[in-house]
Amino acid sequence: MRYCTKTLYQLSLRTFFVSSSGTPAQYFKALLSQRTFSPLHLISKPFKDHLRVNEQIFVRFLEKIVELVHLLVSGQLQRIEKRENITHFLSLFYKLTFDQVDWDGYLSCLETWQCFVAHLKRLMESSQSETLVSSYSSSLIPLSETLLQKIFFMNNGTKLEELDDLKEEDVSLVSYFGHKITESFYFLNRWKVNFIKWSN
């Protein structure tokens, strides 16, 4: 509990420094050190249960980390991307994204990833840092794969049910879905053939 509260204050201070325009470049080097982001290792549920931390503090703790990472990625990426530990930082953020306990937190993390890929696209378009972009490319494939697993009902149905606006009790949907299936069957069949050719 004390550890969590103390870390929360530290994170608030860091967020303040990162959002300030006058913060010197050297600060970001220190910020990306392993120690700063050690809380990212500790966000898992077993950790929370072990410490028996207050639910409210734990949620604020998570929000603060996500906010800090978002500020770093959206506003300071040029300053931190050449640091050797950026890959480690991103792998921790990847873990944080997919360990989020609620959808709001997950959405905030997605917004940060969106900023990150937009930044990479800008770099690629300006063809300034091709080596840098290609070094990140390999980590984008696992990211895309996990994103897909998260949005497909076949993999993540129980969690996605929380967001779904259709209720399963609505039996009238059966005939609706049935008609849609036959209507689109011939269309999809044509696409299946094309897609298999296309992806090979």
Partner 1 sequence: MESEFHKVVQLSADIFLSSAELTKNQTLSLLTEPFQRCISSYESLAGIFKSNNGLPINSKVQLKELRYLTKDLATILQLMGRLSELHMKEPYVLVDRFILIDYAIIFF
Task: Give the single-character DSSP code of 33.
Answer: S
Number of residues that bind partner 1 (CB under 8 A): 55
Q: Residue 146: helix, strand or coil by DSSP?
A: helix
Q: Which residue intervals of 32-172 are DSSP H helices?
A: 45-51, 55-75, 77-80, 86-98, 103-125, 130-151, 153-160
Q: Which CB sits closer to partner 1, 93 or 136?
A: 136
In whole angstroms, the minimum distance from the beta carbon of 5 to partner 1 comes to 30
Q: Which CB sits closer to partner 1, 84 or 170?
A: 170
Encoding tokens for residue 173?
């949907």
Encoding tokens for residue 122?
């800008």
Rounded Cα gap, residues 147 and 110, in angstroms: 9
The angle that helices 86-98 and 103-125 make with each other, rounded to 10 degrees, is 140
Looking up tokens 């076949």, which residue turns up? 154
Q: Which CB sits closer to partner 1, 50 or 164?
A: 164
Judged by CB under 8 A, the residue of 3, 10, 38, 118 near partner 1 is 118
CA distances from 151 to 103, 145, 183 (A): 12, 10, 25
In whole angstroms, the minimum distance from the beta carbon of 189 to partner 1 comes to 7
- 49-108: which residues touch partner 1 (CB under 8 A)? 103, 106-107
Encoding tokens for residue 112?
């940060």
> Residue 9 interacts with partner 1 (CB under 8 A)?
no
Rounded Cα gap, residues 36 and 68, in angstroms: 11
Give φ, ψ of 176 to 5 degrees: -60, -50
- 164-193: which residues touch partner 1 (CB under 8 A)? 164-166, 168-169, 171, 173-175, 177-178, 180-182, 184-185, 187-189, 191-192
- 128-157: which residues touch partner 1 (CB under 8 A)? 133, 136-137, 140-141, 143-145, 147-148, 150-154, 157
Which residues of the chain form contacts with partner 1 (CB under 8 A)? 103, 106-107, 110-111, 113-114, 117-118, 120-121, 124, 133, 136-137, 140-141, 143-145, 147-148, 150-154, 157, 160, 163-166, 168-169, 171, 173-175, 177-178, 180-182, 184-185, 187-189, 191-192, 195-196, 198-199
